[in-house]
Structure 1
Amino acid sequence: MSNSISQEFKFFSLIRFALPTIIMMMFMSLYTIVDGIFISRMVGSLALSANNIVYPVANVLMAAGIMLATGGSAVIAKKIGEKKEKEANENFTMIILVGVGMGVLGMVFGNLYLEPLCRLLGATDALIEYSAAYLSVILYFAPMCMLQMLFQSFFVTAGRPKLGLGLILFGGVANIILDYVFMGPAGMGVSGAALATGIGQSIPAAAGILFFAFRKTGLRFAKPKFDGRVLGNSCFNGSSEMVTNLSTAVITYLFNIIMLKLAKEPGVAAMTVVLYGQFLFNALYLGFSIGVAPVFSYNLGAGRKELLRRIYRISIRFVMISAVVITAAAWAGAPLIAQVFMEKGTEAYELASRGGTLFAFNYLFAGTNILASGIFTALSDGKTSALISFLRTFVFIVAAVLVLPRILGADGVWLSIPAAEVLTLTVSLPCLYSYFSKRERRMTSFD
C-alpha cells in the first residue's frame, strides 16, 4: 500500500507532513473562539460567561471522539504498516460506527436533562437562559461533532492530511459567516452561535463519510466486523487524550466556580478569554502530535528503528523552538486578546489582561508534555500516555487550583496551569528518555 506516512522523513518534510493537521487543529479551535467573539460583542459578557459554564459538556463529547480517533488511528496505522489492509478497513468502519453511537447517546440524554445539567455546572439565575439555549443546540450536533473528530485523525492515517485541512477550513469559514448571519440579521442570540458551530462541524463530517464510502483503494469503509479487542485497544491507547479532555471539563468547572466566588460573572468571562488563548496555542502542539502520530505508528509496525528515533528528535526540536515563540506571543499579546472580547477598562478586561500575561508561561512546557503523551499513544503504550496525561491535566492542576488561589487570590488561578505543566515535565521527560535512549532497552521490541 503506497502511503505518504512511509516516506524517509527529515526535519522539513516531517513539518510539512504535520502542517495541515496543525492548521486544521488551530482552525478548529477558532470555532469556539469566533463564537465567543460574536457572543461577547453581540449579546454581552454574561452570555460569554454562560457559554463557558456549559463548555465542559462539549469537552466530554470531544473526549470520547479524540479517544477513538487517536487510539484507533494508532491501531489502524500499525496494521497498515504490517500490510493487514483488510483488517484495518474493517476496524476503521467499526470505530466510526461506535463514535456515531456515542454522539447519539450524548444528544439524547443531554437534552433530556438540560436545565439540571446547566445548574450542576454552575449556571446562576443570570446565566441559566443563555446556558440552556446554547447547550441544547450543540447537543443536537453531537454525532456530527464525533465524526469530525474521528475523520480529522483518519484523513492523516489515510495519507490525505491536506484534504482534512481543506474541509476544516471550509467548515470554519462557514461557521464564521453563519455566526454573523444568525446572531446579527437573524437575531438568534447564543442559539445562533451554537447552530453556526454545528453546521461548521457537519461539513467535514459529511464530506468524510462520502470520501471513505466511495474510495476504491487505501483506508476506506468496509463491512464492519465487531472486534472487542481492537475497540478496547483503541480506547486504551487513546485514553490519555480522553483524560485530557475529561479533565479539561473538570478543570473548567473548578475554574468557573472559583472565579464566581472571587470575581463573580466578570471573573468567569475573563477566564473564558484566557482559556480561548489556550485553545488556540495548545492546538498547535496537539495538531503536530496528531499529525506525526501515524508516522510513529507506521514505523513501529514496519520495524524501522533508526527512522523512528530520527522522527522523535525532529519532533522534540520543533516543540522546543515553537514553545519560546508562542510564550513570547501570548505574553505580549494578552492585553490585545482581552480587548478583542471586551471593552478596555472594564473589570473583565483588567482581569483577562492580567491573567493572560501570567498564564502565558505554561506554553514553555505544555508542548513537550502534549507531544510526549501523543508519542506514547502512537507507540501503543497507552499506560504511559495515560499516566502523563492524567497527571498533567488532572492531578497537578487540581492540586494547584485548590492551593494557589488560597495564597495568591486570582493570580493563583492563572498560575495553576503553568505550575502543573512544570510538574508534569518531571514525569514526561524521563519517560521519553527511557524509551528513546541509545541503550535501546525498549527499542529491541521492534526487532
Structure 2
Amino acid sequence: MGKNSGAYEFFRYVGLNVMGMIGLSCYILADTYFVSKALGTSGLAALNLAISVYSVINATGLMMGAGGGTRFSIFRFQGHEREAGQVFTRTVILALAAGGVFLLAGLLCAPVLAAVLGADGDTMDNTVVYLRVILCFAPCFIMNNTLLAFVRNDGNPKLSMAAMLTGSLANIALDYLFMFPFSMGMSGAAFATGLAPVISMGVLALHLSGKKSSLSIVRCRWSLREAVSILSPGVSSFITELSSGIVLMMFNLIILSLAGNTGVAAYGIVANLALVVTAVFTGIAQGMQPLASRSYGAGDGKTLKLVFRYGAILSIVLAAGIYACANSWWQGIIAIFNSEGSQELVPIARRGIQLYFAGFLFAGINIVSAAFLSAVTETGKAFAISIVRGCLAIIPLAFLLPGIWGMDGVWLAFVLAEALACLVSVWGIRRAGAAR
C-alpha cells in the first residue's frame, strides 16, 4: 500500500482520529473509574446522572467542528481561501457564544438541572458539584472540539490526535491526584476533566502559530444565513452525540423506577463503556470527513465511493470485534467499576453489556453514513438518519419495551432503534449514489 494511495490516506486520517477520539472519550471513563473507587455506588450513580449534560456540551462542540470543518475544507479545495478564513472566524465566534450560554447555566441553574435529571438525597450534592464545574468549563470543551476539527482539516491529523491523547492522559493523572492525594471528591473529578481540553488546546496552539497553518481570524460580516450554512453540515454530528445524552437522561429515569440507584450505577458502567465505543465510530466518521469533503470539492466521485466503502467495512468489522470482546470479558470489565463488590449490580450490568452492545452492529453504520452524507452536503439525508436514531425510534421504544420486558426492554430499545435507523442509512446512501 503506497503512501499516495487512497487506502493509505484513509487509514492514516481515520486511524489517527480513532486513537484520538478514544483518548477523548476516556475523559469520562477515567472519571467513572476514579469516582467508583473513591465514592462507591452512590457516587457512580451521581456521575451517570450528570454526564448527560456533558454529552450536550460535546454535541455542541462536534457540531461546530464538523460543520465549520466541512465548509472550510470544501472552500479550500475549490481555491476560495478568503471564504475558508471567514468560515473559521465565524465558527470560533459561534463556539464562544455557545460556551457562554452553558457557562451561565452552570453558575445559575446547576441545582435545578440536577433535580430534573433525577438526583435525590443520596446523589444530589455530588450531581450538583459535577454539573457546576463541567458547565463552567463548557467554553473550553466546545472550543477544543472546534479547533481539533479545523486542525485536522488543515492537513495536520497527527497533531489533532496528539492533542486529544495529551488531554486524556492529563485527565487521568489529574483525576488520581485530585481525588486521592488531594481528597477533592467529585469536584476533583470534574475539575480534572475540565482542565483536559485546556491542555489539549495548548498542543493545538503549535499548529495555529506555525507557518503551515492557514487558520487565522479575519474580518468578516455576520449574518444568520452564514451561521446556518456553517452549522448545517454539523447537525447530524450534533444529533448523534446529543442522542447519547437524551438516551442517558431517559434511561436513568426509567431505570430509577425499575431498579433504583443500583440500576443507575449498573447503567453507568454500560453507558460509559458505550461512550468509548461510540467514540471509535465517531473517530472513523471524523477521519473520513476531510477526505470526503476534499473529494466532493474536487468533483472526484470515484474516491468518494471508496472513502465510504472503507468506512462502512471498517465499522462493521470493529463492531463485531467489540461485541465479541465485551461479552467475553464482561466479568473483569464490571469488576473494575464495582469497587464495593455489589452483587446486585453485577447481573444488571452483565445483561446490559450482552444486549445493549449488540446495537453497535447497526450504530457504526449509522454514524459513518450520517457523517459521510454531511461531508458531501447531503444534510437532509444525514439529518434523517440522526433524528430517527436519536429521537423518533429510541424515545417511543424506551417507554414501550420496559413495560413488556423490564430491564431487558431498556437495553433492547437501543438495539431496535439503531436497527430501524440502519434502514434509513441504507436508503440515504443509495440515494446519494455512494453505494453504487
TM-score for both structures, normalised by structure 2: 0.95
Paired AA for residue 356 in structure 1: I
Map Cα deviations across residues 89-119 of structure 1 (whole Å, 9 max, x no partner).
2210221122022112211122211111111
Counterpart check, 1:413 vs 2:389 = no
Q: Post-superposition, which runs of at least 4 consecutive aligned residues in structure 1 deviate over 4 A? A: none
Counterpart check, 1:388 vs 2:385 = yes
1:288 maps to: 284
Match of 2:18 among 15, 22, 26: 22
Paired AA for residue 348 in structure 2: L
Paired AA for residue 221 in structure 1: S
1:444 maps to: none
Q: Give the whole-Å Cα distance in 2 for the aligned partners of 1:250 and 1:170.
A: 29
Counterpart check, 1:203 vs 2:199 = yes
Q: Is the 8 A contact 1:138 1:195 kept in 2?
A: yes
Give the Å deviation of 1:179: 0.7
Paired AA for residue 219 in structure 1: S
Give the Å deviation of 1:209: 4.3
Unaligned runs of at least 5 residues, structure 1: 1-6, 440-447
Q: Give the whole-Å Cα distance in 1 for the aligned partners of 2:7 and 2:430.
A: 20
1:319 maps to: 315
Give the Å deviation of 1:137: 1.2
Q: Give the whole-Å Cα distance in 2 for the aligned partners of 1:400 and 1:306.
A: 39
Paired AA for residue 169 in structure 2: V
Paired AA for residue 370 in structure 1: I
Q: Is the 8 A contact 2:179 2:186 kept in 1?
A: yes
Q: Is the 8 A contact 1:239 1:386 kept in 2?
A: yes
Cα distance, 1:210–1:218 mapped onto 2, change above 3 Å: closer
The root-mean-square deviation of aligned C-alpha atoms, in Å, is: 1.7
Find the residue that maps to 2:183 and give its secondary structure: coil
- Bigger shift: 220-229 or 230-239? 220-229
Counterpart check, 1:271 vs 2:267 = yes
Map Cα deviations across residues 146-193 of structure 1 (whole Å, 9 max, x no partner).
111112211210111110111111111111111111000100000000
Match of 1:223 among 206, 218, 222: 218
Alignment of 1:25-424 (within 5 A): 25-209=21-205, 211-212=207-208, 214-228=209-223, 229-342=225-338, 343-344=340-341, 346-424=343-421
Paired AA for residue 357 in structure 1: Q
Q: Is the 8 A contact 1:18 1:291 kept in 2?
A: yes
Unaligned runs of at least 5 residues, structure 2: none
Find the residue that maps to 2:393 and give its secondary structure: helix
Paired AA for residue 211 in structure 2: K
Paired AA for residue 178 in structure 1: L
Q: Give the whole-Å Cα distance in 1 for the aligned partners of 2:235 and 2:398.
A: 23
Map Cα deviations across residues 336-367 of structure 1 (whole Å, 9 max, x no partner).
22111004452122211121111121121111
Q: Is the 8 A contact 1:40 1:341 kept in 2?
A: yes
Find the residue that maps to 1:367 and give its secondary structure: helix
Map Cα deviations across residues 61-109 of structure 1 (whole Å, 9 max, x no partner).
1121111111111111100110111221221022112202211221112
Q: Is the 8 A contact 1:266 1:348 kept in 2?
A: yes
Q: Give the whole-Å Cα distance in 1 for the aligned partners of 2:153 and 2:239.
A: 22
Give the Å deviation of 1:434: 2.2
Q: Is the 8 A contact 2:234 2:374 kept in 1?
A: yes
Cα distance, 1:247–1:17 mapped onto 2, change above 3 Å: closer
Aligned residues: 432
Q: Is the 8 A contact 1:362 1:419 kept in 2?
A: yes
- Bigger shift: 306-315 or 359-368? 306-315
**Once the two structures are aligned, what percentage of the paired residues are identical?**
30
Find the residue that maps to 2:217 and give its secondary structure: coil
- Bigger shift: 134-143 or 10-19? 10-19
Give the Å deviation of 1:234: 1.8
Q: Give the whole-Å Cα distance in 1 for the aligned partners of 2:241 and 2:279.
A: 13
Q: Is the 8 A contact 1:91 1:225 kept in 2?
A: no
TM-score for both structures, normalised by structure 1: 0.93
Q: Is the 8 A contact 1:91 1:226 kept in 2?
A: no
Paired AA for residue 391 in structure 2: F
Q: Give the whole-Å Cα distance in 1 for the aligned partners of 2:314 and 2:160.
A: 22
Give the Å deviation of 1:438: 7.8
